[in-house]
């Protein structure tokens, strides 16, 4: 309630005060009344001792006396229609005229002191009773107070219904209702309810008095379906138990399986602990395995090298025409755009893209001859030196410095076969493959600079070296770049154009270009390289001493008419089993 | 001067369109028949307008109550201070009987005058409330909404008056709206009224407008022993 209606809403009957107004109210916004009290001044209780004067704050401000002192009611001043002006400020004063004292004053506007009369004709009808017979709904109706002119709309009323269980202390309140009826839901059948209603003007705050209460009561009807809930409970209980059982079985499934279906014992290898196999060190494993009869001699009949490299060749024709080493290093001749021609094998387990595996440039670099000391991780050969028992390659530093095979220019790549030979070991234990062996003796000594630096550019996209560089490298054939030159970045401007669309350059210097170009006349410049070296002997440290192979005719593997056997020196290059048998401790 | 063909064509079109019959305007959809088209009757129009005024008054009451929470005037403070609203100059019937005795045209005119007088002050109120930090955005939005509603209500009442005139219910003595000018909300001393005073006055005036409309409807559209 806002303060502009304070005056009428607080029946101020405090007797300890002096004479004061106790309130002014209007019932229908057409007339109003004011009441006062003499308070503690008992000598002023005679009628006429205190008088009310009012003033309407209009243009004429003049104090006038109360137009009508109600005869029937004590201390009441009644303003009828003539004297009531709505939307006008009134001020009333309580004066004692003989003494000319103003005991109290109050100001208001009539529309703010309107308290409507209570609605009439409150009644109720039963809407429905719930199935269980425990609850019921009623519809409560009433009529607006007769004093309020609602037909014309001079007063627009809103109503508020209260109800409570009979003789309870707390009334339930429903929302304001503009109509003259409202439903009450959820009442209990065995209880008696009291319902009453009051109203106020819309958009004003003063409620009128409550109407008389009515009693609402519905007797409880014994339900015929009292058994119904019991059976329902039983059914739900059974279902719940079944669900619990199922859940129990599923949660304990493993244990039950073990109980009912005992597992078959797993096979074991005598003397070998499976855990050690999983977690043990390689030395232990090595000793362990070698103590077993695992290494049968016939195991070595298969070529161990085969296990490491898995390459599929789509074309049998291709296979015939180019050596495996070329495939290994990806030098294809017929317009393939991939330098490293790892043809995709569908069951290789790689990603679904066709793109072949692209080894790191570092790895590539390390593949190339003379690249010692770098690239510990070769994709082709496993890293650990101890994983290949008893196949130690000579690890002397001398080998690193001066590779056994000379480091020819790139074209020697061309002659690389399917299998690559280990040329030396890096200090870190990696294996360096050599593309093959040349006839020429190892020329390069460490530290010797070569004017004609063959520079390789490994393109940033990793695996591919452009044909240009290969060509130029081939052009720069002369003897050998040092191993330390390794592979420096190739200046792009030296490359003629960009052939990197997969085409091969038909070079003017046909004589220089070896087998890169299919159309080029096959002019092998370099002698072919043998891929395998005969193991000469095994020294005390279980290292293999290799000897250079015999020279071979220079055959360009790309020459369409020539055919280079895939593994020319097979019998010579392999470690025969009986040789290996000598290595067994 | 030689006129090219396109220019001539343009001129012809322009000339044609000067013809009033050629003028393109918006025609009401229901112009050609009552079937399937509901033209609101005068009673409906009155109902809508009265409903609108009730909402406006309710809004003004809410805003006024919010204001009182901030200012918390003392018990007797409200009544004692006599607020002269800027619309006090407009003669308005101060009771039901007086309003019923007033002629329809005058009553309509009073309504329109009141609404017109509040056009600018409501806008000013919204501006003032929006700038102050005391009020949250709800209050200033309510003030804006209130101003819009007053504007719409005025338009609505003008339409109703137009319809009444067409139906012959109003004489031609409604000089109307030209006489109703927008007033500046100034108090007696000439100072601008505060927001609280504006709200107090508008609350009172919106209640007046609502009741006048109801009385007018009852007289124009007789129903329910009005």
Question: In sequence order, what are the beta bridge partners of A422?
Answer: A433
Both tokens assigned to A379: 């994709």
Instruction: Convert the pLDDT of each residue in B44-92 to its tens digit.
Output: 999 999 999 999 999 999 998 888 877 665 544 444 456 678 888 888 9
Pairing of strands A543-547, A392-393: parallel
DSSP A160-183: EEEEEETT-S--EEPPPBSSSEEE
Residue with tokens 């210097």: A509
**Mean pLDDT, all residues of chain B:** 79
d(CA A152, CA B8): 64
**Minimal CA separation from A168 to chain B, in Å:** 34
Residue A266 CB-density burial (10 A; 0-12 exposed, 13-18 middle, 19+ buried): exposed
The label of the residue with tokens 């559209």 reads B221
Q: Taking each helix axis as running N to C, give the angle between helix B137-166 and helix B195-220, from 0 to 180 degrees, rounded to the nearest 10.
A: 30
Mean pLDDT across A119-146: 93
Q: Do B207 and A87 touch (CB under 8 A)?
A: yes
Q: In this structure, what token pair is assigned to residue A456?
A: 């390789």
Of A35-49, A230-244, A477-491, highest mean pLDDT: A230-244
Rg (CA), chain A: 56
Chain-centroid distance of CA A73 in Å reads 80
Does A182 have pLDDT greater than 90?
A: yes
The pTM for the full model equals: 0.53
**What pLDDT does residue A295 have?**
52
The pair of three-digit structure tokens given for residue B163, joined into one six-digit string: 């319809």
If you count them, how many residues does chain A have? 585
Counting beta carbons within 10 angstroms of the beta carbon of residue A394, is it exposed (0 to 12), middle (13 to 18) or buried (19 or more)? middle
Q: In chain A, which residue's Cα lies nearest the Cα of B214?
A: A153
pLDDT for residue A155: 92
The edge-to-edge listing of strands for the beta sheet with A32-37 is A20-25, A32-37, A76-79
Model confidence over B188-219: pLDDT tens digits?
Answer: 555 677 888 888 899 999 999 999 999 999 88
For A385, phi then psi, to 5°, come to: -70, -25
Closest Cα of chain A to B58: distance in Å?
A: 5
Contact B157, B179 (CB under 8 A): no
Closest CA to B110 of B154, B71, B75: B154
**Beta carbons of A311 and A326 less than 8 angstroms apart:** no
Query: How distant is the alpha carbon of residue A52 from its chain centre?
Result: 80
Our CA-based measurement puts residue A186 at a distance from the nearest CA of chain B, in whole angstroms, of 32
- Residues whose CB is less than 8 angstroms from the CB of residue B141 and which lie 6 or more positions away in sequence, other chains included: none
User: Taking a C-beta distance cutoff of 8 angstroms, is the pair A353, A443 a contact?
Assistant: no
B221 contacts in A (CB within 8 Å)? none
Cβ-Cβ contacts under 8 Å, B61 against chain A: 203-204
CA distance A472 to A480: 14
- Pick the residue of B47, B59, B68, B79 with the most A CBs within 10 A to test the interface with A by mutation: B79
- Do B79 and A91 lie within an 8 Å CB cutoff? yes
Chain B residues whose beta carbon lies within 8 Å of the beta carbon of residue A3: 68, 72-73, 75, 78
Find the closest chain B residue to A202 by CA distance: B58
Residue A210: the pLDDT is 95
Q: What is the pLDDT of residue B3?
A: 65
ipTM associated with this complex: 0.79
Interface test with A, best of B67, B77, B78, B207 (most A CBs within 10 A): B78
CB pairs under 8 A between A and B: 77
Confidence label for B24 from pLDDT (cuts 50, 70 and 90)? low
Contact of A305 with A294, CB cutoff 8 Å: no
Range from A137-151, A492-506, B94-108 carrying the lowest mean pLDDT: A492-506
Residue A267 or residue A516, greater confidence? A267
State whether B207 and A57 contact (CB < 8 Å): no
Q: Which two tokens stand for residue A136?
A: 């019921």
Long-range contacts of A33-37 (CB under 8 A, 24+ apart): A33/A70, A33/A76, A33/A77, A33/A78, A33/A79, A34/A66, A34/A76, A34/A77, A34/A79, A34/A92, A35/A73, A35/A75, A35/A76, A35/A77, A36/A75, A36/A77, A36/A94, A36/A104, A37/A13, A37/A75
Query: Would you tell me the crossing angle of helices B119-131 and B137-166 to the nearest 10 degrees?
Result: 170
Are A323 and A566 in contact by the 8 Å Cβ rule? The answer is yes
**What single DSSP character describes residue A525?**
-
Q: What is the pLDDT of residue A121?
A: 94
- Taking alpha carbons only, the member of A15, A12, A22 closest to residue A40 is A15
Range of weakest confidence among A236-245, A360-369, A576-585, B181-190: A360-369
Q: Do B58 and A107 touch (CB under 8 A)?
A: no
**pLDDT at residue number A562:** 44
> Which pLDDT does position A418 carry in this prediction?
67
Better-scored residue on pLDDT, B160 or A485: B160
Q: How confident is the model at residue A243 (pLDDT cuts 50, 70, 90)?
A: very high
Q: Buried b / exposed e across B11-23, counting CB within 10 Å, b at 16+?
A: eeeeeeeeeeeee
Work out the pLDDT band at A500, boundaries 50, 70, 90. very low
Which chain A residues in 64-83 lie under 8 Å from chain B, judged by CB atoms? 81
Tokens of A300: 């070595």
Best of A1, A4, A54, A55 to disrupt the B interface (most B CBs within 10 Å) is A4
CB contact at 8 A, A222 and A134: no
Contact B87, B197 (CB under 8 A): no
Give the confidence band of A505 by pLDDT, cuts at 50, 70, 90: very low
Which residues make beta-bridge pairs with A96? A50, A101
Compute how many other C-beta atoms are within 10 angstroms of the C-beta atom of residue B156.
20
The residue count for chain B: 226
pLDDT at A269 over 50: yes
**Quick check: A86 and A56 in contact, CB under 8 A?**
no
Q: Which residues of B fall within a CB distance of 8 Å from A81? A: 95, 97
Mean of per-residue pLDDT scores for chain A: 68
| Residue scoring higher pLDDT (B37 or A498) | B37
User: Among residues of chain A, what percentage have pLDDT more than 90?
Assistant: 24
Please report residues of B whose CB lies closer than 8 A to that of A204: 61
Asked whether the predicted pLDDT for residue B171 surpasses 90, the reply is no
Confidence band for A256, pLDDT divided at 50, 70 and 90? confident
| pLDDT for the residue A17 | 77
Q: How many Cβ atoms are within 10 Å of B127's Cβ, its own excluded?
A: 14
What pLDDT is stored for residue A48 in this prediction? Answer: 75
CB B201 within 8 A of CB B86: yes
Residues of B in Cβ contact (< 8 Å) with A86: 94-96, 211
Inter-chain contact B75–A3, Cβ cutoff 8 Å? yes
Identify the band that residue A569 occupies on the pLDDT scale cut at 50, 70 and 90. Answer: very low
- CB within 8 Å of A179: residues ≥ 6 apart: A159
Contact A78, A33 (CB under 8 A): yes
């Amino acid at each position: 309630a806002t303060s502009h209606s304070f005056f009428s809403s607080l029946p101020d009957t405090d007797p300890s005060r002096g004479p004061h107004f106790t309130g002014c109210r209007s019932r229908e916004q057409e007339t109003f009344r004011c009441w006062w009290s003499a308070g503690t001044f008992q000598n002023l209780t005679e009628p006429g001792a205190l008088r009310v004067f009012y003033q309407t704050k209009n243009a004429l401000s003049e104090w006038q006396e109360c137009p009508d002192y109600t005869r029937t009611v004590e201390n009441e001043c009644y303003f009828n229609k003539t004297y009531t002006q709505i939307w006008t400020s009134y001020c009333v004063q309580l004066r004692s005229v003989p003494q000319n004292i103003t005991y109290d004053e109050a100001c208001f506007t009539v529309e703010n002191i309107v308290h409507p009369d209570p609605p009439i004709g409150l009644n109720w009808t039963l809407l429905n009773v719930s199935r269980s017979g425990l609850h019921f709904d009623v519809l409560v109706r009433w009529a607006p107070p007769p004093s309020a002119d609602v037909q014309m709309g001079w007063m627009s009323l809103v109503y508020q219904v209260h109800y409570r269980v009979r003789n309870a202390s707390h009334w339930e309140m429903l929302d304001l209702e503009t109509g003259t009826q409202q439903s009450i839901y959820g009442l209990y059948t065995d209880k008696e309810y009291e319902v009453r209603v009051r109203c106020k003007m819309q958009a004003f705050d003063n409620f009128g008095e409550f109407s008389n209460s009515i009693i609402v009561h519905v007797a409880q009807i014994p339900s015929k379906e009292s058994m119904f809930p019991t059976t329902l409970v039983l059914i739900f209980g059974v279902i719940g138990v079944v669900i619990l059982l199922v859940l129990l079985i599923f949660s304990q499934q493993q244990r039950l399986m073990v109980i009912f279906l005992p597992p078959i014992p797993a096979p074991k290898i005598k003397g070998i602990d499976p855990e050690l196999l999983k977690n043990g060190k390689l030395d232990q494993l090595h000793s362990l395995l070698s103590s077993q009869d695992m290494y049968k001699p016939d195991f070595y009949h298969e070529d161990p090298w085969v296990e490491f490299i898995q390459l599929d060749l789509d074309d049998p024709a291709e296979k015939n025409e180019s050596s495996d080493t070329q495939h290994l290093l990806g030098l294809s001749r017929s317009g393939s755009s991939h330098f490293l021609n790892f043809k995709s094998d569908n069951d290789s387990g790689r990603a679904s893209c066709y793109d072949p595996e692209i080894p790191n440039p570092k790895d590539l670099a390390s593949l190339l001859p003379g690249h010692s000391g770098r690239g510990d991780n070769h994709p082709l050969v496993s890293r650990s030196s101890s994983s290949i028992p008893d196949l130690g390659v000579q690890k002397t530093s001398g080998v690193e410095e001066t590779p056994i095979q000379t480091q020819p220019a790139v074209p020697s790549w061309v002659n690389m076969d399917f299998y690559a030979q280990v040329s030396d070991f890096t200090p870190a234990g990696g294996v360096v493959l050599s593309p093959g062996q040349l006839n020429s003796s190892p020329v390069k000594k460490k530290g010797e600079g070569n004017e004609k630096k063959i520079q390789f550019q490994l393109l940033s996209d990793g695996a591919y070296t452009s044909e240009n560089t290969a060509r130029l490298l081939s052009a720069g054939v002369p003897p050998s770049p040092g191993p330390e030159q390794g592979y420096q970045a190739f200046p792009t401007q030296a490359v003629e154009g960009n052939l990197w669309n997969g085409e091969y350059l038909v070079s003017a210097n046909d004589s220089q270009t070896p087998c890169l170009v299919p159309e080029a006349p096959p002019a092998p410049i370099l002698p072919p390289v043998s891929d395998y070296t005969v193991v000469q002997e095994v020294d005390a440290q279980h290292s293999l001493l290799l000897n250079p192979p015999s020279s071979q005719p220079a055959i360009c593997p790309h020459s369409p008419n020539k055919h280079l056997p895939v593994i020319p020196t097979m019998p010579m290059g392999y470690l025969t089993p009986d040789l290996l048998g000598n290595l067994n401790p | 001067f030689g006129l090219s063909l396109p220019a001539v064509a343009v001129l012809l079109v322009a000339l044609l369109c000067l013809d009033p019959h050629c003028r393109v305007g918006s025609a009401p959809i229901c112009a050609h028949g009552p079937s399937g088209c509901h033209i609101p009757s005068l009673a409906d129009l009155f109902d809508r307008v009265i409903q609108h005024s009730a909402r406006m008054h309710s809004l003004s009451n809410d805003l006024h109550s919010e204001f009182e929470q901030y200012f918390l005037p003392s018990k007797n403070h409200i009544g004692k201070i006599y607020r002269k609203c800027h619309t006090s100059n407009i003669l308005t019937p101060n009771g039901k009987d007086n309003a019923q005795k007033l002629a329809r045209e005058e009553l309509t005119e009073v309504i329109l005058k009141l609404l017109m007088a509040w056009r600018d002050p409501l806008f000013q109120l919204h501006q003032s409330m929006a700038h102050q930090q005391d009020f949250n955005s709800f209050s200033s939005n309510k003030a804006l909404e209130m101003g819009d509603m007053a504007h719409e209500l005025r338009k609505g009442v003008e339409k109703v008056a137009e319809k009444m005139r067409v139906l012959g219910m109003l004489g031609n003595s409604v000089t109307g709206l030209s006489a109703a000018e927008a007033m500046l909300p100034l108090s007696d001393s000439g100072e601008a009224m505060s927001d609280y005073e504006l709200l107090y006055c508008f609350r009172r005036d919106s209640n007046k407008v609502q009741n006048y409309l109801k009385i007018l409807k009852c007289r124009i559209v007789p129903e329910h022993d009005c």
